[in-house]
Structures are given as structure tokens and as C-alpha cells.
A and B are shown apart, each in its own frame.
Chain A
Amino acid sequence: MEKWENNKAWFLVVPVLAFVAFSALIPLMTVVNYSVQDILAPGESVFVGTEWFKKVLHDYRLHDALWRQFLFSGLVLLIEMPLGILIALAMPKKGWGVSFSLVTLALPLLIPWNTIGSIWIIFTRPDIGLFGAAINSLGLAFDHTRRPLDAWITLMLMEVWHWTPLVALLAYAGLRAIPEMYYQAAKIDGASAWSTFRYIQLPKMRGVLTIALLLRFMDSFLIYAEPFVLTGGGPGDATTFLSIYLVKIATGQFDLGMASAFSLIYFLIVLLLCFVFYQVLQNVGKGARI
């Protein structure tokens, strides 16, 4: 191919570059800039190098928040992925039931996130909430504002209620895309329902499940609005996840330098884990090692 002398075509990329710069690069670089300075007052700052990073890495409250975050995301994935797949398998394949179940499933996804927090505050209130009062009247003490375990249970219930439909919808789309032939062949081969699931449905859903897993991991790892509204991070620090802690540092203590360093580390953790998940899921069972 002949190489063009005049590469004016590159100018066509400028609008996109400008857009990305304003929407992502410049804000990100601002954060990088803050992370190496101590902001004393507006317009007054001192260069501090990696000091904030060192401080963040040695902050035990942050360590606790990180482990809490891992526990939360791990539980979310362990519950939502299998549950979503089960729901997708149980959903009707034709008739009016399809649109009915799709719309019903999509409902939680359409509600604004902090509204969901408010709904669940009322739902689980020990005195008047349908759920909280019902549990208490059974003789089981339940109060998510005072008991850490109850706060976790409430959060998990809310999270599962809110996001399992997404996994189910993705899994359902994956299932519907499997040609009828595969089921017919499995029938002729005498495959059991479990084998059909294990060797046909699950491998064919690999793509959509990868997306579901990544989305659910990222969202749950970055969760903010719902616990902020429901528990405010309490009781104590019981539900203080990374982003809640981050906001406390940034807007509560106004430690912009430390918050920036923290943000960068947070960002890198999410990026790294997504990369690992993606690589593993792309290669599992594909015979890449043979």
C-alpha cells in the first residue's frame, strides 16, 4: 500500500479526542495532580510527592473498608450469578408470559438508586416497615440501624433484589440465542437436564455471563448510593464501603490529596480485577492450554 503524504484525515478524530479529554482524561489528570499535593486553601498548595499514597496504604480503616468491600462483592456475585441463571432457566420461552416476566424483572432496574435506598429504609423499619415489623413480630429481633449483621442482611437483600434481574435478563438473552438443534441433539444423545445445562447452556452463555459478572463486580465494588441512604455506613463502620469512606475523606474531612490518592488506588484495583476476570472467563474451558 502506498503511504499517504498528507494525513489530514487525522483531523477528523479531533472532536472525539477533545470529547474524551474533557470527559475522562482531564478530570483523571486533575485527580493525579491533587494526589501529589497538599491543598491548604484554594490557590495555595504544597507538593508532597508520594506521601498521600503512603498514608493511604497504611490507613487501617481503609484496609477494613477494603476487606468489607471484597466480602460484599464476593457475596453479591455468589448469590446473584447462580440466582440470575436459575431465574433465566425458569422463565417462559413463548407466549404472553415472556413479556410479563421481562417487564416484571426490569422494574427494579428502572428505579433511581437512592429511591431504592429510601424504599428499603421504610420496608425494613422495625416499627412500621412491612419486612422489619413482620420479622420482629415473629419474635426475632431485627434492627438494621443498630445491629451490624441486620444491616448487612438488609443491604444484601436490597442488592440482590435490585440487581439479580440484570443477570437474569442477560442470561435469558444468552439462552434464547441457542439454536434448537443443540437441544434436539442432546435429546438424541440421551443427555440429562443437568448435562444439557452443563455442556450446552452454560458454555453457550459464556459471553453474556462474562458481561454480567464484570458489570455486577464493578457496580457492587463501587456501590455508594444505596448503603449511603440506607445505613450511612453504619452502624459504626459496619457498612462503610470504599466509596463511602472515600466520600467521608473527600467531603467530610476535605482531605482532597488523600482522597485523590485513594481514588487512584481504588480505580487501579477495579481495573486489575476486571482484567483478571475477563481473562479467566475467556479462556476457561476453551482448551487454550492444549
Chain B
Amino acid sequence: MACIELNEIAHAYVRNPAGESDYAIKRIHNVWDDGGAYALLGPSGCGKTTLLNIISGLVTPSRGRVLYDGRDVTAMPPEKRNIAQVFQFPVLYDTMTVFDNLAFPLRNRGIEKNEVIKRVHEVAEILDLTPFLKKKAAGLAADAKQKISLGRGLVRSDVAAILFDEPLTVIDPHLKWHLRRKLKEIHEQLKLTLIYVTHDQMEALTFAEKVVVMYEGEIVQIGTPQDLVENPEHTFVGYFIGSPGMNLLSCTLNGNVAHIDGARILLDQKTTELGGKARGKLELGIRPKYLELSSEPGKNGVPADIKAVEDLGSYKIVTLTLAGKTLQAKLPEGKPVPGGTAWLVFPPQWIRLFADGRLVK
């Protein structure tokens, strides 16, 4: 068990980084609590895997320190850190049986024979691998193989954290769900710190207690799934989380009214006060599911043209243009959609303001 602290980490793969853009990791400074289940979420190329490899020790950061329970491990190789890593594709020792695969990390560390047998059987039991112990690992299905990779991490009693690098990429969809649940069970049972890298937001939101969103080599937000949906701290989080993502409209403020190229949207008192303090380029954000649509102007309605309606079975996605900008609204299945022009209502409590990309708060 350990809490992992990243102290002012930066990493560049090139030897003499010239500028910001050479850094795969720009600046990361945070603490991963002992026993937490974290998902590291971000688009391809944002530095997730690099960060994971820095934590496990496969990559030594250009700058900064990695601390396990306050102990500096920055210079330590991965085998000296009490950490396990599961990779995108199952890594197996093909010529060995499942038992030998699981026993391998223990034998390498000179653990006594009876202890090895005991631990391997315990872990095989947890992962439902007991029937396969005597089989060759090479002949098993992808999900069993990935469980063996995971088992090689669990089998070591000293393991503080298990790192996952998109481990379900090669697993069939119906088994993904099963394995994800298995992971949750293991987390509850063993109270290990789990860090799970993925670019799939569904996977991140269902797996993790806390989701860490990365964007261009930086962490832009750490929060519960609910935080990410309701209070994205960065326009990127708003846009990336949710399907479809948050509607973002550049605007100017005039008292309690936001002007979007002539369209007027009323703000509540709290947002107005926040808006007054904001500096920089302002954007107004609202989640598609909070937008209301009606065929009557109503009290605060803003006229918009309906461009397309997609019926996804349990809900509809309506694409509209408002003062030349495209928006999306997510409506419940039963609700009728007016044709041509509709009136959009922006519920003030769900409106968020962003200044230069950051949430105004």
C-alpha cells in the first residue's frame, strides 16, 4: 500500500527540449491517494501512457520526483518499486503454464516454494483461473490472457499499486463488462491503488472513483464523474466528457445578459457575479441534456433553426443553429421536436462560464 506523489514532473522524449511543444508531459504535480481507483482519461497522444510509465519506472522523467509514501523512487527501476503494470495487449510467457506464469514474479524474487504455491492458488481463485492452472498460457482466450497479466501483478503481496494501460482494448465487448466488474471487485477486496489509463470515457466513468482528465501533457481536472459532467473546469473536459460534449459559445457579458452574436441569454445572480470578475476570452457552456426546446417563444426563449434530428432509441439528439453557431440538444424520447424554428431555453443554473478555457468560479 502506498500513496504516490508526483512532484513537479515534466518529461520530454527528445534530449534537448527546445520549447513547450517538445514536452510530452508539461507539468504534473499531484498526489494519488492510497487505495484509490483512478482513471486517467484523455485523447490519444495526451501523455497518459508516458505518465503511467513514469509512475511505474519504465520512464525516468526529465524533471521532478516520484515519491511512494514519501520515499523518493525517481531513480529506481520498475522491479525495485512495488508496482505492477498491465499492458494494452496481454503479455504472457508463452512457453509456460498458467501456474508458472503467475509464479514467475515470485520466483524471480526468490520467494519460498510453499508460499509461491499458496499465493498462486489464492490469486487464481480470485480471477477464476483455477481450472486453467495446468494449461499452457498460449492457448487461452484474450480475456483469460489479460487476467493472467493482471494476476502476475496481484500475486506479489508487496504490490502497492496496479497500473493499467488500456487493458481492455483487445477484449470482446461482452467480456469487457465482466472484466471491469472483476477489477472493481478486486479493488474492494484488496484495497489496492489502481490507476487505469483509457481514452474511453464510458470505461473511465464506470470504473473509477476519481477521473483524472489529461490534455496536451497536463492534468486539466481531477474529479468524480459527477464533477466532470456538472462542473468541467476546462472547456476541454466539457467537450471531451459526455456524448455529445458540452455546447460552448463565445459571448460577451452585459450585466446579467450574455450576448451571443445578438442572441440574449439571461444569467442567474451567481453566474453574473462570477462573470463580472472574469478576464479574457469568455465562453458560455451548457450540457446538451440541460437545453430545453419548445415551439413557443415563452419567457426566455431564444430562436434557433433545427438542422437535424437523430433518434438514438432512448433519446434524440437535435442539432440547431443559433446566431450562426451550432448547438446540440439531447431530448428524452417521448418529447416532440418542433419543425423548422424552435425556441431554446438555457436554464440559468446549468450555465457555466469559461474565461480563456478555464471555468470561472
Contact = CB atoms under 8 A, between A and B. Distances in A.
Contacts of A79: none
A22 interface: no
B94 A185 contact: no
A181 B91 contact: yes
Nearest to B95: A285
B33 to A, nearest CB: 22
Contacts of A191: 104, 108
A189 B104 contact: yes
A219 B149 CA distance: 42
Contact of B149 (A185, A203, A204): A185
Given A188-B85, A190-B105, A203 B78 contact: no
B136 A287 contact: yes
B78 A184 contact: yes
A179 B104 CA distance: 20
A199 B105 contact: no
A99 interface: no
Interface in B35-67: 53, 56, 58
B136 A189 contact: no
Interface string B128-146: 0000001110110000000
Interface string B77-100: 111000111011101011111000
Given A184-B58, A185-B91, A189-B104, A290 B135 contact: yes
B134 A290 contact: yes
A199 B96 contact: yes
Contacts of B109: 190
B138 A286 contact: yes
Contacts of A182: 91
A287 B95 CA distance: 8
Contacts of A290: 134-136
A136 interface: no
Contacts of B210: none
A286 B89 CA distance: 20
Contact of B135 (A188, A190, A199, A287): A287
Interface string A169-206: 00000000001011011011111100100011001100
A188 B136 contact: no
B133 to A, nearest CB: 12
Contacts of B152: 185, 189
Contacts of A192: 108
B2 to A, nearest CB: 16
Given A181-B89, A184-B85, A191-B104, A203 B94 contact: yes
Q: Is the interface of A mostly helix, strand, loop or mixed?
A: helix
B86 to A, nearest CB: 9
B130 to A, nearest CB: 16
A196 to B, nearest CB: 10
A188 B88 contact: no
B87 A181 contact: yes
B108 A188 contact: no
Contacts of A179: 89
Interface in A265-287: 285-287
Contacts of B79: 187-190
Nearest to B163: A188
B139 A287 contact: yes
Nearest to B91: A185
Contacts of B58: 184, 187-188
B90 to A, nearest CB: 9
B99 to A, nearest CB: 12
A188 B78 CA distance: 5
A188 B56 contact: yes
B305 to A, nearest CB: 51
Contacts of B134: 290
Contacts of A203: 93-95
Contact of B84 (A181, A188, A286): A188
Query: Among the interface residues B78, B87, B95, B109, which one has the most CB atoms of the partner chain A within 10 A?
Result: B95
9 contacts: A179-B89, A181-B88, A185-B85, A185-B152, A187-B77, A187-B78, A187-B79, A286-B95, A290-B134
Interface of B: 53, 56, 58, 77-79, 83-85, 87-89, 91, 93-97, 104-105, 108-109, 134-136, 138-139, 149, 152-153
Query: Which 6 pairs between the two chains have the least Cβ-Cβ distance?
Result: A287-B136, A190-B108, A185-B91, A285-B95, A190-B79, A189-B105
